[in-house]
Chains A and B, each alone.
Chain A
Amino acid sequence: MRANFVLSEIGVGLRRNITMTFAVIVSVALSLSLLGGSLLAREQVSSMKDFWYDKVQVSIFLCNKNDAESGDPACAKGAVTEEQKLEIETDLEKFDIVDQIFFETAEEAYEHYQEQQKDSPIAAVVTPDQMQESFRVKLHDPEKYEVVSTAFAGREGVHSVQDQRALLENLFQLLNGVNIAALALMALMLVVALLLIVNTVRVSAFSRRRETGIMRLVGASSFYIQTPFIMEAALAGLLGALLACVLLVGGKYFLIDNFLDTRIAVIDFVGWDAVMSVLPFLLVVGALMPGIAALFALRKYLKV
């Protein structure tokens, strides 16, 4: 009977404010899907970091004839000689931090280039002698790149030392930037959602002031008076959170599984387990946050 009473009050309240309730549901859904999305994106970035940092190397590009003739300042003394190559290799082996050393010939570099740039018109005009020879150095700790860089940059026959991590770092920074933007947008949506909830509660409290006034005078506890309002907000928030869950699952299914995964094989996208672990969190946030917002609104708009 009590449950019935509370439930019917909630039902009446939600229907009375149908447009406002709908706005609350949509804004909660949007902000929570942004939150869930950015949580998943963070997971994606960190798993990609683990995966790629394992593979990255420091590349020491050596001068070729082309560089020397075109007057590249790093290669002013001409193309790299066999002695210089040997010297670099023995020096590299002396470093403790170096794990493995590979030597990539110009031909190999050419092949890799052709493979990667298959569809590019430039690939057709590039010749093997334009490619640079290089040492590919794998470090025990990729963070120690500086040591290799200072030791070999500027040495005769060395064109440049490149940390591949830096290339990835740019990508990760971009992803992080997108992530932060998503979070900022989420925060904004969240503020909108909370303001909407406060306003909904205000309207709701106003339209039921007669009932609440009587409840107050006959000595109903403030908990009893406030519960329907809070449950109303929590229910609307929960519906929004459910919608957010549907959006995330849909995004995972349609965007990642059926689109990106089939086209980009090199990236290991977030799995269903990660998506599923985010959903309960969204539901809890979706129900709690509007409930708490409603409680604060009631303190202001419902005298008890």
Chain B
Amino acid sequence: MIRFDSVSKVYPRTNAPALREVSLEIERGEFVFLVGSSGSGKSTFLRLVLREERCTHGTVHVLGKDLGQLSNWKVPQVRRQLGCVFQDFRLLPNKTVAENVAFAMEVIRRPRAEIRKRVPWVLDLVGLGGKEDRMPGELSGGEQQRVAVARAFVNQPKLLIADEPTGNLDPQTSVGIMKLLDRINRTGTTVIMATHDAQIVDQMRKRVIELDKGRLVRDQHRGVYGYQN
């Protein structure tokens, strides 16, 4: 699904690499937490998977494609198989909930009939049935994040990337979002989630990958947020 082979990333005009010699593999259907303090390289890791950046050394394979060799115009083909959720939701404020979700299908030119069928289905799935015509501004943070998850999932991606999806939410709402992500994971979608939320990581007991100053320092199955001893 994802394979990093001694990947390093140095941003232009900086000395310290954001990632150093990271090698790891993530299998299809896994649920992976990416933890580490700010500046540890979590975001860089996700940006490399999304091919928003290219790595400086090493190779990144996503869905069998070597992203370093992939030409720019083929990148959208890979991204269509990925879904993204962010801390700040990134919804379009002037579109309704249903339009926001439909937008993700429209811009990759899905047929109208399919959009009409799938949007209500996915909104039901995330628990927003009946709120199709609300504007994002009228929803709570948790609900907005559910819209974002619906948008990320509506094209049935093979991989869902979540960059601190609960960062702006209270613990109770966060649990709801985590249940949703877990449910999506159970449909066979691989989920990678960067987070600072120790409670969630400890509860879920999934694979934990920890980065520190760009290095991979821990890769633990059924792990916890930090070392307890």
Contact = CB atoms under 8 A, between A and B. Distances in A.
A217 interface: yes
Given A1-B112, A214-B103, A215-B107, A221 B92 contact: no
Contacts of A263: none
Interface stretch (B12-20, B77-85, B193-201): B77-85
Contacts of A2: 109
A217 B73 CA distance: 14
Nearest to A5: B106
Interface in A199-227: 210-211, 213-222, 224-225
B222 interface: no
Nearest to A1: B112
Contacts of B186: none
Contacts of A1: 112
Interface in A221-237: 221-222, 224-225
A29 B104 CA distance: 38
A48 interface: no
Q: Which of B109, B112, B151 has the most CB of A within 10 A?
A: B109
Contacts of A224: 107, 109
Contact of A220 (B76, B112, B151): B76
B72 interface: yes
A218 B79 contact: yes
Interface residue SS majority, chain A: helix
A219 B77 contact: yes
B108 interface: yes
A219 B90 contact: no
Interface in B43-58: 50
B75 to A, nearest CB: 8
A220 B92 contact: no
The interface centre, meaning the residue of A215, A219, A220, A225 with most chain B CB atoms within 10 A of its CB, is: A219
A11 to B, nearest CB: 14
A175 interface: no
B145 interface: no
A270 interface: no
Contacts of A5: 106
B73 A219 contact: no
Contacts of A220: 76, 107-108
Contacts of B59: none
Contacts of A213: 90
A240 to B, nearest CB: 29
Interface in B90-127: 90, 92, 103-104, 106-109, 112
Interface residues of A, number: 18
Interface in B144-177: 151, 155
B53 to A, nearest CB: 11
Contacts of A222: 72-73, 76
A5 B112 CA distance: 12
A220 B110 CA distance: 11
B72 A304 contact: yes
A225 B108 CA distance: 10
A210 B90 contact: yes
B79 A219 contact: yes
A211 B151 CA distance: 13
Contacts of A214: 90, 92, 103-104, 107, 151
A30 B103 CA distance: 39
A219 B108 contact: yes
Contacts of B80: 218-219
Nearest to B79: A219
B104 A221 contact: no
Contacts of A304: 72
Nearest to B115: A1
Contacts of B155: 218-219
A2 B106 CA distance: 8
Contacts of A215: 107
A34 B75 CA distance: 44
A218 B72 contact: no
A211 B100 CA distance: 10
Given A218-B79, A222-B76, A211 B104 contact: no
A211 B95 CA distance: 11
Nearest to A217: B84
12 contacts: A1-B112, A2-B109, A211-B103, A214-B103, A216-B79, A217-B82, A218-B108, A218-B155, A219-B76, A219-B78, A220-B76, A222-B73
Given A5-B106, A219-B81, A222-B72, 20 more contacts: A210-B90, A211-B103, A213-B90, A214-B104, A214-B107, A215-B107, A216-B79, A217-B50, A217-B79, A217-B82, A218-B83, A218-B155, A219-B76, A219-B78, A220-B76, A220-B108, A221-B73, A221-B76, A224-B107, A224-B109
Interface of A: 1-2, 5, 210-211, 213-222, 224-225, 304
7 A-B pairs with least C-beta separation: A219-B80, A219-B79, A220-B107, A219-B76, A218-B104, A215-B107, A217-B84
